[in-house]
């Protein structure tokens, strides 16, 4: 099976180069990997002590950041190497300040794995949540490098638990310790004979809890809000927006809306703005420096990235997008930490924190336009209801902190 896997990786490598000629995202994926070994050779010396963290994308990076920061503090003389698989992670965080070298992870071939590990020569390795690359893991096992999985999630439908998944199960032998989010993941690993496992919880709770300690003020958002009840719509997709725009256009209540779409393609942003009948403004228009009297607008569309977390601090109600697509809803913990009631779409079952908050009734799932209208109308008109649900959300975050300390206490 490993032979077949390696053959598939080689074929994928060939096909990706073709797709890259038509897709800007795939071009980043392919072109971004070309200078990886050169970058590592220039930033990591043979005598350097290093620690390597791998994140699939932006969400996993943010999830692992509390551990990265703590490890950096605990091992101040080690260089930190962070790798990403996805352009959506690397392109946003390639200039982070926590790592000494940030690169794309070369595709999982035996040759790439050997060369990458020779250049990085890590003393410890951390994989965040998932992404189990057999060739990298097999090489780490041969090198006897301490390797950890943090905030891991396992499900019965994964290849490890299939009759044909032997080579994937073999790759798991590389892990010195598994830090998983829940008991069901631990039980699945125990079925494979893995006793080197602990339920630590999700390090994202530690990450979002620290947000409260930072300066989350944005003058232009404060001006726009103007002491008016505000709904923040974060990481929205067209399916979310089709329902939300109808509500925005029809509501007669005194309320403002901030929309931060997941995709900030200029054409899609303009389509969104054109669909809104109320007075709307784009962040890119504000950025020009013109005096637009922001307080006079009803809708503020954020056509940039990197400021949504701070914007959530101004929300009275939050809608988090993605719940009408697959795999489902985006990060609900950022608005939750600010004590904001949350509304999401119906697809959230793969996300433990969303499932828990829906069960606790701090987060409300809606499936159609009528449900959205009813839920929003109730939350807008009932301040007590907003505060009750918001309190559930903030308490949920505070009660689930601590995963980072559990991990650090286990690592020598």
Quick one: average pLDDT of 44-53?
97
The CATH class, in words, for 35-201 is alpha beta
Quick one: average pLDDT of 222-236?
97
Q: CB count, 10 Å around CB of 32?
A: 16
pLDDT value at position 412?
Answer: 65
Q: How far apart are CA 126 and CA 110, in angstroms?
A: 19
Instruction: For residue 327, say if its preceding peptide bond is cis, omega within 30 degrees of 0.
Output: yes
Residue 231 above 80 pLDDT?
Answer: yes
pLDDT in tens, 162-181: 988 888 899 999 999 999 99
Q: How far apart are CA 15 and CA 397, in angstroms?
A: 43
Q: Which of 38, 47, 60, 285 is catalytic?
A: 60
pLDDT in tens, 337-366: 999 999 999 999 988 899 999 999 999 999
Same fold, 35-201 and 213-399: yes
Q: How far apart are CA 86 and CA 275, in angstroms?
A: 32
How confident is the prediction for the chain on average, in pLDDT? 94
In the chain, helix, strand, coil percent, each to 5? 50, 15, 35
Residue pair 88/104 in contact (Cβ under 8 Å)? The answer is: no
Quick one: average pLDDT of 254-260?
97
Structural domain spans, the chain:
35-201, 213-399
Q: How far apart are CA 123 and CA 309, in angstroms?
A: 34
Q: In terms of Cα–Cα distance, which of 164, 161, 114, 163 is closest to 2?
A: 164
Q: Which band of pLDDT confidence, cut at 50, 70 and 90, is reported for residue 411?
A: confident
Return phi, psi of residue 290, to 5°.
Answer: -70, 150
Half-sphere exposure of 162 (CA within 13 A, CB side): 8
Q: Which residues pair with 103 in a beta bridge?
A: 83
pLDDT value at position 306?
Answer: 86
Q: Which band of pLDDT confidence, cut at 50, 70 and 90, is reported for residue 88?
A: confident
**For residue 296, what are the contacts with CB-CB under 8 A and spacing of at least 6?**
279
Residue 295 above 90 pLDDT?
Answer: yes
Quick one: average pLDDT of 116-142?
96
| Max Cα–Cα distance, the chain, nearest Å | 66
Residues in the chain: 412
Residue pair 257/234 in contact (Cβ under 8 Å)? The answer is: no
Q: How far apart are CA 53 and CA 57, in angstroms?
A: 12
Quick one: average pLDDT of 300-313?
95
Verify whether residue 60 is a known catalytic residue.
Answer: yes
The CATH class, in words, for 213-399 is alpha beta
Tell me the three state secondary structure of residue 38: helix
pLDDT in tens, 365-397: 999 999 999 999 999 999 999 999 999 999 999
| Strand order from edge to edge, sheet including 177-180 | 101-104, 79-84, 50-55, 122-128, 147-152, 177-180, 197-199
The secondary structure of residue 292, as a DSSP letter, is -
Q: Which band of pLDDT confidence, cut at 50, 70 and 90, is reported for residue 141?
A: very high
Q: Which residues pair with 80 in a beta bridge?
A: 51
């Amino acid at each position: 099976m490993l032979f077949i896997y390696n053959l598939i990786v080689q074929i994928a490598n060939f096909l990706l180069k073709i797709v890259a000629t038509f897709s800007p995202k795939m071009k980043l994926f392919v072109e971004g990997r070309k200078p990886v070994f050169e970058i590592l050779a220039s930033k990591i010396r043979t005598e350097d002590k290093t620690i390597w963290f791998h994140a699939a994308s932006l969400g996993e990076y943010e999830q692992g950041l509390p551990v990265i920061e703590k490890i950096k503090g605990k091992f101040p003389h080690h260089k930190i190497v962070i790798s990403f698989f996805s352009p959506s992670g690397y392109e946003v965080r390639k200039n982070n300040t926590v790592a000494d070298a940030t690169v794309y992870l070369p595709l999982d071939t035996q040759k790439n794995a050997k060369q990458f590990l020779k250049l990085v020569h890590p003393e410890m390795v951390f994989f965040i949540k998932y992404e189990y690359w057999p060739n990298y893991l097999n090489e780490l096992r041969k090198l006897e490098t301490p390797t950890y999985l943090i905030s891991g999630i396992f499900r019965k439908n994964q290849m490890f638990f299939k009759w044909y998944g032997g080579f994937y199960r073999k790759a798991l032998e590389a892990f010195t310790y598994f830090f998983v989010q829940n008991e069901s993941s631990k039980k699945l690993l125990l079925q494979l004979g893995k006793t080197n496992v602990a339920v630590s919880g999700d390090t994202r709770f530690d990450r979002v809890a620290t947000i409260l300690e930072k300066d989350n003020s944005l003058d232009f958002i404060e001006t726009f809000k103007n002491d008016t009840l505000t709904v923040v719509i974060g990481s929205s997709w067209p399916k979310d927006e089709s329902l939300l725009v109808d509500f925005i256009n029809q509501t007669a209540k005194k309320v403002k809306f901030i929309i931060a779409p997941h995709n900030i393609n200029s054409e899609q942003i303009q389509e969104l703005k054109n669909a809104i009948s109320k007075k709307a403004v784009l962040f890119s228009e504000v950025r020009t420096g013109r005096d637009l009297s922001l307080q006079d607008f009803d809708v503020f569309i954020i056509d940039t990235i990197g400021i949504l977390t701070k914007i959530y601090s101004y929300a009275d109600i939050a809608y988090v997008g993605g719940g009408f697509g697959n795999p489902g809803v985006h990060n609900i913990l950022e608005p939750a930490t600010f004590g904001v009631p949350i509304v999401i779409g119906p697809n959230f079952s793969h996300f433990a924190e969303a499932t828990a908050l829906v069960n606790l009734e701090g987060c409300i799932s809606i499936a159609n336009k009528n449900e959205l209208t009813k839920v929003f109308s109730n939350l807008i008109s009932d301040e007590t209801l907003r505060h009750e649900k918001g309190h559930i959300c903030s308490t949920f975050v505070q009660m689930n902190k601590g995963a980072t300390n559990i991990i650090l206490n286990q690592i020598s």
